[in-house]
């Protein structure tokens, strides 16, 4: 029972980390129809910015604040200076963009290795979040609960904006019918760059908060982008709410297989992915209201 509870919390923590990446990725796909494999690079960059700020200032909180800034700017620049002009010239098939962003993912890994070396770096857990708490009979690290809290807050915030505000309505409209949104006078390219930047910033935030937990290394973004893609496909491409539930499923599958069926851990989520692709290729959580 204690093992089970610990694994539930571990699964939840992993889910929230992956959700921070998946939320941006699914919106980028839904709005811009871009399979952005470079999304993992923003995770890496966030983590390394976090390392740099934390070691320079000694403050984790400053790292948390500043870490996502570089991904934010680079994301917006990547969309508006590179991907958008390519799309306008007709070079925007999924293969073109997948190859380009895949290249950027590896280029980022190479660049941070050149700058920071290939050693595994660490960010100390901030003192305020160090230690363990007793929870339902188990002792659990406070920092992991913090990650769960951040993930749930971001999910609640994004859901509110997406479902209840005019900006969210404009984003939903953009997913439904991009051309019509422009015909209403909305500068969709500016909106795309903003969403791309915001998605990259969330990935960067995930990188900073993952840093004290896992070590920081140049390939870290490549590993997590695969899990993120599983989440985005299982949740339904472009479906923000679906990505949240899919994050939970993937996180839990990972944590539970680790504890109870370690021999299948490596491919448990891929089995899930294949199952979903066969049974519901549009994703498990296609928006019901859209069927009407």
Residue 186 binds to other proteins (criterion: CB under 8 A): yes
**Binders of other proteins: how many residues, by CB under 8 A?**
23
**Residues facing residue 200 across a β-bridge:** none
Stretch that binds other proteins, among 100-108, 183-191, 228-236, 256-264 (CB under 8 A): 183-191
Residue 183 binds to other proteins (criterion: CB under 8 A): yes
Residue 145 binds to other proteins (criterion: CB under 8 A): no
Residue 180 binds to other proteins (criterion: CB under 8 A): yes
- Nearest approach in angstroms of CB 180 to other proteins is 4
- Gap between the Cα atoms of 212 and 144, Å rounded: 10
Smaller CB distance to other proteins: residue 59 or 165? 165
Residue 69 binds to other proteins (criterion: CB under 8 A): no
Q: Which long-range contacts (CB under 8 A, 24 or more apart) does 2-10 make?
A: 2/137, 2/138, 3/259, 4/259, 5/136, 5/137, 5/138, 6/138, 6/140, 7/255, 7/256, 7/258, 7/259, 8/252, 8/255, 9/135, 9/140, 9/144, 9/145, 9/148, 10/144, 10/255, 10/258
Dihedral, CA of residue 291, residue 283, residue 74 and residue 145, to nearest 10: 110
Residue 185 binds to other proteins (criterion: CB under 8 A): yes
Residue 90 binds to other proteins (criterion: CB under 8 A): no
- Nearest approach in angstroms of CB 90 to other proteins is 12
Q: What is the CA 179 to chain-centroid distance, rounded?
A: 27
Residue 172 binds to other proteins (criterion: CB under 8 A): yes
Residue 169 binds to other proteins (criterion: CB under 8 A): yes
Q: Using CB under 8 A, list all residues that contact other proteins.
A: 166, 169-170, 172-173, 175-177, 179-188, 287, 289-292
């Amino acid at each position: 029972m204690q093992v089970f509870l610990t694994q539930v919390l571990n699964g939840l923590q992993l889910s929230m980390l992956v959700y921070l990446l998946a939320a941006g990725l699914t919106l980028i796909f839904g709005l811009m129809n871009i399979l952005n494999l470079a999304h993992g690079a923003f995770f890496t960059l966030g983590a390394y910015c976090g390392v740099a700020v934390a070691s320079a200032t000694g403050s984790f909180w400053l790292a948390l604040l500043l870490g996502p800034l570089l991904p934010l700017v680079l994301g917006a620049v990547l969309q508006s200076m590179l991907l958008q002009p390519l799309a306008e010239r007709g070079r925007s098939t999924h293969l073109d963009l997948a190859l380009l962003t895949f290249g950027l993912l590896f280029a980022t890994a190479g660049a941070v290795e050149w700058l920071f070396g290939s050693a595994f770096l660490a960010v100390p857990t901030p003192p305020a979040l160090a230690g363990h708490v007793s929870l339902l009979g188990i002792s659990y690290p406070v920092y992991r609960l913090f990650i769960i809290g951040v993930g749930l807050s971001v999910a609640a915030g994004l859901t509110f904006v997406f479902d209840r505000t005019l900006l969210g309505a404009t984003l939903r409209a953009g997913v439904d019918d991009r051309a019509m949104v422009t015909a209403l006078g909305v500068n969709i390219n500016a909106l795309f760059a903003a969403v791309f930047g915001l998605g990259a910033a969330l990935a960067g935030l995930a990188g900073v908060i993952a840093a004290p937990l896992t070590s920081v290394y140049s390939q870290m973004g490549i590993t997590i982008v695969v899990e993120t893609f599983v989440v985005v496909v299982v949740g339904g491409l472009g479906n923000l709410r679906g990505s949240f539930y899919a994050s939970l499923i993937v996180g839990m599958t990972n944590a539970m297989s680790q504890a109870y069926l370690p021999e299948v851990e490596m491919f448990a989520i891929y089995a899930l992915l294949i199952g979903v692709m066969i049974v519901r290729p549009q994703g498990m959580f296609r928006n019901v209201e859209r069927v009407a």
